[in-house]
Amino acid sequence: MSENKISITGEPITDAMCRFTVDRPVYPDKSFAFLSKEAAEGSPLAQRLFEIDGVTRIVTPSIRSRSTNRQVLSGR
């Protein structure tokens, strides 16, 4: 896989929330909350996720699986 391409899979958690799993740490050991599209300015990944119809906020926890080296992003 190219270092420039990120693989993201999405799965619904509830009718109003989706979890996106990323194939590598995006923000290692950091967490962020983008509570609006404007707050995502400067974060290309968050900006692209806000382009998806219905996304109103994005939370990136610092918790990730050490065995798979993936990070989970939650969006609503």
Q: Where are the domains of the chain?
A: 12-75
pLDDT at residue 67 above 50?
A: no
Separation of alpha carbons 42 and 19, rounded Å: 22
pLDDT at residue 68 above 50?
A: no
pLDDT digits (tens, 9 = 90+) for 4-37: 787 888 888 888 888 878 887 777 778 888 999 9
Do 55 and 35 touch, CB atoms closer than 8 A? no
What is the b/e burial string over 44-63, where b = at least 16 CB atoms within 10 angstroms of the residue's CB?
ebbeebbeeeebebbebeee
**Which is it for strands 17-22 and 8-14: parallel, antiparallel or unpaired?**
antiparallel
What are 5's two structure tokens?
A: 């391409």
Q: Provide the pLDDT for residue 76.
A: 57
